[in-house]
Structure 1
């Protein structure tokens, strides 16, 4: 059995490694390694995975929607087993711990279909070293930013959709276990079950496409199982990671995009590695994000900032839902998914700037409004392409010290202390 490696905070907090500190346009300027593609090596593609029931557990159908069977995939083995930032040679098991993953895929000559889209080309590329894996992930991020994922027929999304594959790669989800998920479900109601039931019935309740694909029982199962999983995990800065209101909206895009089992493990990895402080009882990360929104807006658009302040409007009053749910509370769902492509590629911290981008896009109306809160109570429908383009521009104007706090606020408890001292 592979030993469990407990990583220091700087390494376990994110699947992005050192790339998290890079501003999007800076990553766009990076050139891929010359030897990144076309090698005869183990395959990176998570959906050359063997669909199987290795655990020997029959998948019980407890809702109108069937479970998918267990899926596994292999990953390129690092030539150096020491944990370093940016490596993807680990599979996440528990919070703050990872297990090395070895590849048993046969060596094979890789051929790329020139007619395939760039995403398929990247996902189907074989790799020989960890460096090549990181280079492909970097290229994947750039293509997401420059081209965006192709349009998909949302009501007819398959469980093996391109977006599902891309998200799992970005999060480093290369192994899911039907046995573990079913064991968590069989534990029954968790201590937060009633809280979950109070929220799930109104999750994206006006979105017909979502309701056609995801039913309430799926939401309840995933969130209740997540609560059990977190109960046995380590705390974050002395605060338990548990179910909080708004988490039902955070899990919705995963369930819409993936099979239920893939959604559970992707969601769990997302919470544990990307934004654990967003789901502590005090919502520490969310409140830090709101404070940082005010600081960034003051730099990016002083006139708008001062006007909102003159109306006694701080970010915590009008932006709480947008920060907590990474804008998933704002329709339409198609645009939410495109925005999340960007956030999962470059870091959820950029959601703070995405909210500012929305404010700037409606600044004329806000500055003319005698009561801007009436406009802010319901944000305009998302236009992901427009918001992402402006967010990338805004990121370049944020001072490095402030950007560092922005990057760290979803997972580093020290940010709250720093912001408190700066009052």
Structure 2
């Protein structure tokens, strides 16, 4: 009799329905974020729960210090391999993971309120000339992020950096910042968290991209051509034959880290990858996305600028897979230049 009970128990265990992979992945990531003994869990178990600008206090919502490189490496690997799952009825893990990747330690609510209270800045008209166009055709974005939210955050960023330099670099509003602000307002549960992520992103991850002369963008476009020649010399030669250098067709994709390529949900997934492993990889992502229409470009009998100006809808998984395959093709010296170009001046640059 006990044996029969055991058999029935074994059978019930075997017949127990398995969770879909998305739920298993969600649970895995959630456990890592919640485990109090892990370095990863130094992020609080919650962000700001509502969309108020601030409670007027300094809130701890991010990574205090990462002393477990292996844990972070594994977290990045899982995010890139499986993605960040969205489970109906469960809170999104993306805000917490983005803050973790950006190493957001604190939210300075009072400071943000002070900058917002200053109102219009000296480049307010320039900001408003751009904000109404931000992801204008994406209804999901327009339904969640109002134009006044974009204006408020961009003006606060200008006030934050007014009259100051960071590592010798000034910051003010430049064209394209509106598109870079968009994903943070779309993903984060509060404007305060969005501002903290946006500011950190610009000031630490890609400061040369948002200088008045856009040094980083132009350097990135130069590197795009050089990387393209290495990873796909045939397609590069075709584009070169049409005199289509990256400066001509890839400026927007480079400046916005592919956020200007719809659909938005796929661009957000690509940003999961870029925030986890580094925004320098966007250069290879652009090449990867163009590679998806490789045969069309090669077969073109007239200059294929229209194909390049209106790329097909983004598929983040395909682009990430191709990007990773390209990495092993780059000489170490070229890859080193790629890594540093968003934040470090090249010799003779400046």
In the superposition, the TM-score normalised over structure 2's length comes to 0.83
Note if contact 1:322-1:328 (Cα within 8 Å) is conserved in structure 2: yes
Structure number, greater radius of gyration? 2
How far apart are residue 151 of structure 1 and its match?
A: 2.9
Per-residue Cα deviation, 1:251-278 (whole angstroms, up to 9, x for no partner): 1000000011100010000111100000
Per-residue Cα deviation, 1:72-125 (whole angstroms, up to 9, x for no partner): 23778xxxxxxxxxxx63xxxxxxxxxxxxxxxxxxxxxxxxxxxxxxxxxxxx
1:140 match: 75
Give distance in 1, aligned partners of 2:62 and 2:191. Answer: 22
Note if contact 2:99-2:197 (Cα within 8 Å) is conserved in structure 1: yes
How far apart are residue 67 of structure 1 and its match?
A: 3.3
Q: Does 1:191 align with 2:122?
A: yes
- CA, structure 1 residues 382+38, in 2 after alignment: closer, same or farther (shift >3 Å)? closer
Give distance in 2, aligned partners of 1:341 and 1:211. Answer: 21
How far apart are residue 48 of structure 1 and its match?
A: 2.5
Note if contact 2:280-2:339 (Cα within 8 Å) is conserved in structure 1: yes
1:21 match: none
Give distance in 2, aligned partners of 1:354 and 1:42. Answer: 30
Per-residue Cα deviation, 1:306-345 (whole angstroms, up to 9, x for no partner): 1111111110110000000000001001001100000000
Q: Indicate which of 276, 280, 295 corresponds to 1:364.
A: 295
Per-residue Cα deviation, 1:185-241 (whole angstroms, up to 9, x for no partner): 11121111111000000101110000110000000000000011122432455x422
Question: Please, which runs of 5 or more residues in structure 2 have no aligned partner?
Answer: 1-33
Give distance in 2, aligned partners of 1:268 and 1:355. Answer: 24
2:21 match: none
1:109 match: none
Alignment of 1:34-49 (within 5 A): 40=37, 44-48=41-45
Q: Indicate which of 184, 193, 205 corresponds to 1:254.
A: 184
Q: Does 1:244 align with 2:177?
A: no
**Structure 1 moving runs of 4+ over 3 Å:** 37-43, 49-52, 65-71
1:82 match: none
Alignment of 1:160-309 (within 5 A): 161-235=92-166, 237=168, 239-258=169-188, 259-309=190-240
Greater Cα offset, 276-285 or 37-46:
37-46
How far apart are residue 41 of structure 1 and its match?
A: 7.1
Count of residues in correspondence between the two structures? 314
Note if contact 1:284-1:416 (Cα within 8 Å) is conserved in structure 2: no
In the superposition, the TM-score normalised over structure 1's length comes to 0.69
Q: Indicate which of 48, 53, 58 corresponds to 1:67.
A: 53
